[in-house]
């Protein structure tokens, strides 16, 4: 049984590789092998989800696929190319990382794009499992500037999840996919918190002041553009600011525990694990 991991250099896929390396025959799809950090026990293959003809060798002999697309307007096309390559290769199960609240009426265009790809997978004839995780704790690693913390929640609470717990759930499903066939999970952390609470936790861990600075959706968009983010992504994240600010992400569940048999990490644990990073920004 060979598992293929797409998005191998991304936050979640990198952790999935770490979870499975040495336990399963494992292959990672990368665009440029020369720029990819290597893990023992992983076969690295070159392919581009925007170029379907490059995928045939990478998918040969694959039985299970971890399907992750970077956020962007071309994501449905990339997902389509991967699903088609999987059908041609006889892949037996696809585990797809979707997005929180993915639906045809989702409040963000990213959620609506993911809904298209989720539906395509569900109708593909290949057994599937879909993960729609909450907001990543890792997104806050780039949100602190000095004593200020920024973010997309407004004053609302969100059931933040550590990407390592998403990866643990994904790896567990990839290792035993039949148990999760046809299921949609929405992994969250164990608590729903505000960004004021997040700032307080970072301050306690660092022993220095950290204060959350609320921004309107327009301020968030403009700040992201000034930081160099492209227009499409900045506008989508502003849409998430509107959605999260309405309480859209204020929920938790037991999906991680049901899949991996343990509680997901708390935000306090995450901050302690990343203390040096927070101290340095």
For residue 281, pLDDT over 90 is answered with: no
Tell me the pLDDT band of 32, cut-offs 50, 70 and 90.
confident
pLDDT, tens only, 46-66: 999 999 999 999 999 999 999
Residue 41 gets the label, from left (phi > 0), alpha (psi -120 to 50) or beta, of left
- State the Cα–Cα distance between residues 173 and 167, nearest whole angstrom: 10
Give the list of residues 6+ apart from residue 146 with CB closer than 8 angstroms, or none. 281
pTM: 0.96
Q: How confident is the model over 241-272, as pLDDT tens digits? A: 999 999 999 999 999 999 999 999 999 999 99
Chain segment 133-186, per-residue pLDDT in tens: 999 999 999 999 999 999 999 999 999 999 999 999 999 999 999 999 999 999
Structural domains of the chain ordered from first start:
3-132 (3.40.50.720), 134-161+188-251+263-281 (3.90.25.10)
Asked if 66 and 5 touch (Cβ cutoff 8 Å), the reply is yes
What is the arrangement of strands in the sheet containing 64-68, beginning at the earlier edge strand?
Answer: 42-46, 26-30, 3-5, 64-68, 93-97, 128-131, 183-185
What pLDDT, on a 0 to 100 scale, did the predictor assign at position 24?
86
Secondary structure string (H, E, C) spanning the chain: CCEEECCCCCHHHHHHHHHHCCCCCEEEEECCHHHCCCCCCEEEEECECCEHHHHHHHHCCCCEEEEECCCCCCHHHHHHHHHHHHHHHCCCEEEEECCCCCCCCCCCHHHHHHHHHHHHHHCCCCCEEEECCCCEHHHHHHCEECCEECCCCCCCCECCECHHHHHHHHHHHHHCHHHHCCEEECCCCCCCECHHHHHHHHHHHHCCCCEECCCCHHHHHHHHHHCCCCHHHHHHHHHHHHHHHCCCCCCCCCHHHHHHCCCCCCHHHHHHHCHHHHHCC
């Amino acid at each position: 049984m060979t598992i293929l991991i797409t998005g191998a250099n991304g936050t979640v896929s990198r952790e999935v590789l770490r979870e499975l390396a040495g336990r399963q025959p494992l292959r990672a799809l990368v665009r440029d092998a020369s720029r990819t950090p290597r893990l023992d026990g992983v076969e690295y293959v070159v392919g581009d989800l925007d170029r379907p003809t490059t995928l045939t060798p990478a998918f040969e002999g694959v039985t299970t696929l971890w399907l992750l697309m970077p956020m962007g307007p071309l994501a449905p096309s990339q997902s389509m190319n991967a699903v088609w390559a999987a059908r041609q290769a006889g892949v037996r199960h696809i585990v797809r990382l979707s997005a929180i609240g993915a639906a045809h009426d989702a409040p963000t265009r990213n959620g609506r794009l993911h809904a298209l790809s989720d539906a395509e997978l569900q109708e593909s004839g290949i057994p599937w499992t879909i993960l729609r995780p909450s907001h990543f704790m890792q997104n806050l690693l780039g949100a602190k500037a000095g004593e200020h913390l920024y973010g997309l929640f407004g004053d609302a609470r969100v059931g933040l999840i550590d990407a390592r717990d998403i990866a643990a759930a994904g790896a567990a499903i990839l290792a035993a996919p039949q148990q999760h066939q046809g299921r949609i999970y929405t992994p969250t952390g164990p608590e729903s918190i505000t960004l004021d609470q997040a700032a307080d936790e970072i301050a306690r861990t660092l022993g220095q002041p950290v204060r959350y600075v609320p921004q309107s959706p327009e301020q968030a968009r403009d700040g992201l553009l000034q930081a160099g983010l492209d227009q499409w992504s900045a506008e989508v994240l502003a849409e998430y600011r509107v959605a999260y600010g309405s309480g859209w992400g204020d929920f938790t569940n037991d999906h991680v525990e049901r899949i991996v048999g343990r509680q997901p990490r708390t935000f306090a644990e995450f901050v302690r694990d990343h203390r040096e990073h927070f101290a340095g920004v």
